Chain A
């Protein structure tokens, strides 16, 4: 059972436009969400996070929105740049995992490959 889903395996966007990457989750007990960016043959790089007490977090060109009632989060990149082309993973964690002695466990989505064309 996949608890974190990224339904779009790929996304293509023109340089300068907005990129919107989506992520859905099924477990309402998740309370912390993260986005990672990954280039081929490199480790994932932490981008931005949001806790469930917020509905928006912004860092430069990157904004993450959380809709708890819909169990949905999205990452907006504005403006998109060719260097943003990478695979983006969303991940979730929660206090309930700590209670189950699974503290530190991140549940990752399958990733969305973003291609930003010049």
Chain B
């Protein structure tokens, strides 16, 4: 199994709603990532989990709350979002977070994304 799955594919929510995005991988990867992508822009890193511990938070507002229940699962909890948070949310995974200089441990494999619309 060489894929990263994300649910739901599409999500429409109001500014007062609470919802969650889910991501799953069964490649034995120990690093998982959340990215946000706006149209015609590159993916923008939000969070990195390494061995189920949060290792990078790119100064993301607290209305986004990540969770890594186990090594295969990554959630992103959403609360009180703004319309400008509408974007494609991408999950990715890699074997490790560090580059050893020998192998491509940092090749990140992306899921298909969740298209989020905040009304």
**Residues of A participating in the B interface, judged by any CB pair closer than 8 Å:** 31-32, 34, 36, 41-46, 49, 51, 53, 89, 93-95, 98, 101-106, 108-111
Contacts and interface: CB of A to CB of B under 8 A. Distances in A.
B116 interface: no
B42 A110 contact: yes
Given A93-B99, A104-B31, A43 B112 contact: yes
A104 B101 contact: no
Interface string B79-119: 00000000010111010111101001011111111010000
A95 B99 contact: yes
Interface of A is mostly: loop
B42 A101 contact: no
A108 B43 contact: yes
A49 B112 CA distance: 20
Given A41-B88, A95-B99, A111-B40, A104 B113 contact: no
B96 to A, nearest CB: 8
A102 B41 contact: no
A34 B107 CA distance: 8
B104 A101 contact: no
Contacts of A95: 98-99, 101
22 contacts: A32-B99, A36-B110, A43-B92, A43-B112, A43-B113, A45-B110, A46-B109, A46-B110, A49-B104, A51-B101, A53-B101, A93-B99, A93-B106, A98-B98, A103-B96, A103-B106, A104-B55, A104-B56, A104-B94, A104-B108, A106-B106, A108-B43
